[in-house]
Amino acid sequence: MEVKIGVFIFFILICIIGFRFETTLFALIYFIAKVHNYHVEVLAEEDFLRKRHGEKYEKYCICAGRYLPRFYSRELILKICTEGE
């Protein structure tokens, strides 16, 4: 009984590609879920800090970015962050 290697290689490659796609799809879904979870945690912390520190925290939020730093001019940041002190 002779085995045709070409046919088996074709089906093995299809299985490997399918597994890689499934793994990549799972990783993408997991990444999206983690980002969403992180965002919800940040919103809860901001709410807590806003209630605890009030106007000081509002000024801090203007000066600092939520996830990345804000790139305003130094003069504008100092004006916003120090007014009322």
Mean of all residue pLDDT scores within the chain: 78
Based on the fold, state whether residues 2 and 36 are members of the same structural domain: yes
Q: What is the pTM of this model?
A: 0.60
Q: Which structural domain, as residue segments, surrounds residue 18? A: 1-42
For the residues 12-35, what does the mean pLDDT come to? 80
Tell whether 47 is covered by a domain.
no
* % of the chain residues with pLDDT over 70: 74
Q: Within a domain: residue 4?
A: yes
Angle subtended by helix axes 74-82 and 55-63, to nearest 10: 180
- Side chain identity, residue 61: C
- Shared-domain flag, residues 36 and 65: no
